Chain A
């Protein structure tokens, strides 16, 4: 046998859970932060050069519309220290996680439903494709009329923004399952819903997680779209405030926060989960 027990023991995999919650995670966060800081520094330098040229030297733009990176950071610190930023961020993340948390199971089950039932596919399939083509903010007027001008209206928009991409990703992933696995399972007498729970769902999991990442970014966009068009505490509201006060430093500071938060959850949670699953399935060698 070409593989010895010793070499295999060394590469024996940790469970997905232990891969996620280990010292490695702390290391990964540190490394990710370092990368972000290095990247941010690079951006800041380029930005500062453009600012100096266009505002200070040639006077093409005015500082109120194109702030220096330092001004943005000062604005960020100001709003962080007086608590505005924290309140806005936690309000936004609350809506986002509720919306995404609803989208994920809804999307996965409707995607499996599309794969499971021809009838369901015929009826729901075109609706899913149509709504996926509809920018989620378009739901806002309806949503406000249905739910009122409150959290639920925005959460509804978030769900509508992300659920269909997860549905489509899940449905597509079921079509990529090796037919031999389904054949082997049905040969062992596994059919119907049991086949779904025990084979189709786990076999689709890696692709479903990729779909979840996409759904996450759609959820983020929908949230901000909703918040920009409504009042209430949130990051979108802070952006509006910056516009109303012609405070470009605040606008850019909030944009930075949105980028960092979206990236952090994608990289530190979803991508790590995706890679852990891929490793345990033997889909990647890293």
Chain B
């Protein structure tokens, strides 16, 4: 892939004022046993077209719930979830999930897995193979087209999942900790490639992670959530950092530290809620 002048693209994108994705005063609760828990409270979030937004927060802060709301798998108790100004009603291939597990179909080979998505959105048979191959090449797996899923490594499988999603050409990619299950080297490589793919395709991405470094490496914006009820605590812009970024970049370090400090008290709350008195008198180093 040629080096795309990403920073220019970001500037272009920020010129657009129409928000592709908008959460307005969104609240969402769920039942846990007999108690009602508020997962999200009064969330206001605007995501611009082509923006890469990372959501970071302790476990249980409801950041994955935001993805579910945008996808239409769950519905808000109050408030609006809008995509291009339209309220989200049901799941659709314009908002595609990427999960921690690649969720590929083991009875299909690699190329057929990508074609599966194309068939789903009604791409005629004659065009499927070529289009699937194009996206498989984008993730550098063109030699593996005829392989079975179980013959690939974890990183390769996640690449196939990314290719399958991109081939469908969604407006928004909802990534729920997609690299968490991978080894560190593979994850680093995929960080680079995801930035290139994002630059090349201009997709809007909402990316949920626990890893602050990952969030700063990938996102235009990093949004910190409070522990239950999940509220937006603070937002950090990363657009001053040049792309492509690497997870070990020195320039990002101070921002990473600042975000981690902001997050610490929330993580302590989460840990205290989870383990109770066992942690009462101890200082938790995060």
Contact = CB atoms under 8 A, between A and B. Distances in A.
B62 to A, nearest CB: 19
A18 interface: no
B147 interface: yes
Interface in B131-155: 143-144, 146-153, 155
Nearest to B168: A188
Given A187-B93, A205-B107, A5 B143 contact: yes
Contacts of A178: 103
A199 interface: yes
A169 to B, nearest CB: 18
Given A1-B186, A281-B107, A187 B156 contact: no
Nearest to B146: A12
Nearest to A2: B153
Interface residues of A, number: 29
Given A187-B91, A189-B120, A282 B156 contact: no
A8 B143 CA distance: 11
Given A181-B105, A199-B105, A202-B107, A188 B186 contact: no
B188 to A, nearest CB: 13
Given A184-B97, A187-B96, A189-B93, A203 B148 contact: no
Interface string A16-44: 00000000000000000000000000000
Contacts of B101: 180
B105 A202 contact: yes
- Choose among A180, A188, A203 the residue with the greatest number of B CB atoms under 10 Å from its CB: A188
Contacts of B116: 188, 198
A150 interface: no
B91 A281 contact: no
B236 interface: no
A130 to B, nearest CB: 33
A12 B146 CA distance: 9
- Choose among A13, A183, A187 the residue with the greatest number of B CB atoms under 10 Å from its CB: A187
A181 B117 CA distance: 12
A247 to B, nearest CB: 51
Interface in A192-223: 194, 198-199, 202-203, 205
A186 interface: yes
Nearest to A189: B93
B27 to A, nearest CB: 24
A8 B103 contact: no
B85 interface: no
B263 to A, nearest CB: 28
- Choose among B92, B105, B107, B155 the residue with the greatest number of A CB atoms under 10 Å from its CB: B107
A11 interface: yes
Contacts of A187: 71, 73, 91, 93, 96-97
A188 B148 contact: no
A187 B91 CA distance: 6
Nearest to B143: A5
Interface in B98-137: 99, 101, 103, 105-108, 116-117, 119-121
A282 B109 CA distance: 11
B168 A203 contact: no
A3 B152 contact: yes
B146 A282 contact: no
A3 B97 CA distance: 27
A190 B73 CA distance: 14
A280 interface: yes
Contact of A188 (B93, B151, B156): B93
Nearest to B121: A189
B147 A8 contact: yes
A152 to B, nearest CB: 37
Given A3-B156, A187-B71, A282 B150 contact: yes
18 contacts: A1-B153, A1-B155, A5-B144, A180-B99, A180-B101, A181-B105, A183-B103, A185-B120, A188-B116, A188-B121, A189-B92, A189-B93, A190-B120, A198-B116, A202-B108, A205-B107, A282-B148, A282-B151
Shortest beta-carbon contacts, A-B, top 4:
A282-B150, A184-B103, A188-B120, A202-B107
Interface of B: 71, 73, 91-93, 96-97, 99, 101, 103, 105-108, 116-117, 119-121, 143-144, 146-153, 155-156, 168, 186
Interface of A: 1-3, 5, 8, 11-13, 178, 180-181, 183-190, 194, 198-199, 202-203, 205, 280-283
